[in-house]
Structure 1
Amino acid sequence: MTAFVLVPGPFTGGWVWEEVAALLREAGAEAYPVTLPGLGERRDETGAGADLETHVEYLARLVDGIDAPEVVLVGHGYGLFPVFGAADRRAGRVARIVSIDTALPENGAAWVDSAPDPEVRARLAEAARSGEDIA
């Protein structure tokens, strides 16, 4: 049996995966649609303290708790960044990484660099510098 961990981007939550999760479960797989700490409905859990490290560790612990022999991590947008980090930490447990509508980042690239629109990249970069809440 395969377990799919479904990781959304920063402006949504695990709820965006519910239809996909239902289809995966109907097909006999396990599905774990997640909302990363500090984002979406979990926004108030960590305050400003949530960062990439928080998200990588959260996913790594989630993988540790899955009994299925094959784990597939699926990332959309920013979600791909913690997926890569968790897969690196749990290389023996993660069978595949799936990128949904997200360019593969180059080593050392920031998430904002992956936004295709230059105006969006500039807005995200400015928000990150100023600490502005853009969600």
Structure 2
Amino acid sequence: MEPKRSRSDLMPGFGVTSERSSHPLEKVGRFRIEGELVVIYLEGVGSFLVKKVQVVSVVLGLCDEIIRDRVEGEVGVMSLSDSGRGLRKGILGEQYVGLVQRVKRVLEGKEGKWAVFGVTE
């Protein structure tokens, strides 16, 4: 019977290295539920509103919804990512995302807020 060989025996000179690249997402704010509204707080930018029922529609993949500022002006759009795992927000020409899994937990009352990440290129 032949002795068992390790991976390093099978691939001489092969080494595994890992490089850490900069993450394309940066935490820039948070979401909270206030009554029947979801409020998006963005550091240095302001706060924006979406009705809770509208966020549910987006999470379910039914439609995209308008994001408004505090005086009801349209400032962007909320949509579901192609994978269905992220909640995208285009606000004032910038792109932001949050995890759908966390959004659901907040909508269910299991958590109080969730993070908003800015998409950096």
The structure that has the greater radius of gyration is: 2
TM range (shorter): under 0.3
More helix by proportion, 1 or 2?
Answer: 1
